[in-house]
Amino acid sequence: MNNTNIFGIFDSEDMLVATVRNILDKGIKIKDVITPYPVEAVFHELKLKTRIPFAAYLYGVFGLLATFGFLYWTSVINYPLVYGGKPQNTLSFVIVIFVMVINITIAFTIITFFLREKKGPGAKPPYEYKGMTDDKYFIVIEKSGNINTEEVNKLLTSGGAIEVTEQ
């Protein structure tokens, strides 16, 4: 069996973050960190960046323009109704615009996330380890020619890993 990854398994978020710092200080590249929920300190330590907020902003602008355009077209151009002396071009549909902007932004952001992360029906997990999606924290380090496995195992164990394994 070809062991290509070293897994460090932790019980505590604090020990995970401290170990990530120690490993990065030693110049060892971390392949992945898996947590049951987003840990912002890990994002900062690994210097991860995302463009999802910018995409969500663009989807919100699109939702605003599309909803306003649709409501304007249906209320003023295609089927104008004058009732109660109200002018046709009013902002009486602000609530509808507000709700639709939120709905469109959320729907397109979720679709973008699933496409970007290659999630969905039939997606294969990148790592197979029993209990990985439960309540444990994982550091994954790829074994390569210049990685000292003993040093990595020692760093993970001294950082509080409850288990260090290779897969």
Does residue 43 form part of some domain? no
Q: How far apart are alpha carbons 152 and 140 in whole angstroms?
A: 11
Query: What's the pTM value of the predicted model, to 2 decimals?
Result: 0.73
Question: Structural domain tally of the chain?
Answer: 2
Residues 145, 102 within the same domain: no
For residue 69, tell me if it sits in a domain: yes
Let me know: does 8 contact 148? Beta carbons within 8 Å.
no
| 71 and 108 share one domain | yes
Could you give the C-alpha distances from 119 to 13, 38, 123, in angstroms and in order? 25, 17, 6
Whether residues 87 and 137 fall in one domain = no
| Whether residue 18 sits in one domain with residue 62 | no
Residue 46 lies in a domain: no
Q: Which domain holds residue 27?
A: 5-36+132-166
Burial group, residue 161, by CB count within 10 angstroms (0-12, 13-18, 19+): buried
Tell me the CATH number at 23: 3.30.70.120
Cα gap 157→161, rounded to integer Å: 5
- pLDDT tens-digit map of 76-113: 788 877 777 766 666 678 888 999 999 999 999 999 99
pLDDT tens profile 122-162: 888 888 877 787 888 999 998 887 778 888 888 898 988 89
